[in-house]
Amino acid sequence: MSDVLEQQRTEEELTLGAPWDVVVWDDPVNLMTYVTWVFRTHFGYPPPIAERLMMQVHTAGSAVVATGSREAMERHVEAMHGYGLLATLRPADT
């Protein structure tokens, strides 16, 4: 069974490409409430998840806020920049 799942995963990667992460970085400008609002508004996260991600950004310096195809994650990075947040794109850990 695991061979079938591995083959399916490989086929998905060939179709979609390897997954990418959107990383949001801490900055001295944006309020924590604003960052939480952005995560709720843009990604549709419920308050507990948005607050947990915001706290990770605040305390650890960054957080992965989304993972998916490179094209979709590039759009999220651009959106984060539009909200005034520092965000980058990186290959996801698989």
Show me where the domains of the chain are located: 17-91
**Which CATH number is 17-91 given?**
3.30.1390.10
CA 60 → CA 26, 52, 76, distances in Å? 8, 11, 21
Question: pLDDT tens for residues 7-53?
Answer: 655 555 555 689 999 999 999 999 999 999 999 999 999 999 999 99
Output the pTM of the full model. Answer: 0.81
Q: By the 8 A CB rule, do 83 and 42 touch?
A: yes
Question: pLDDT tens for residues 68-88?
Answer: 999 999 999 999 999 999 999
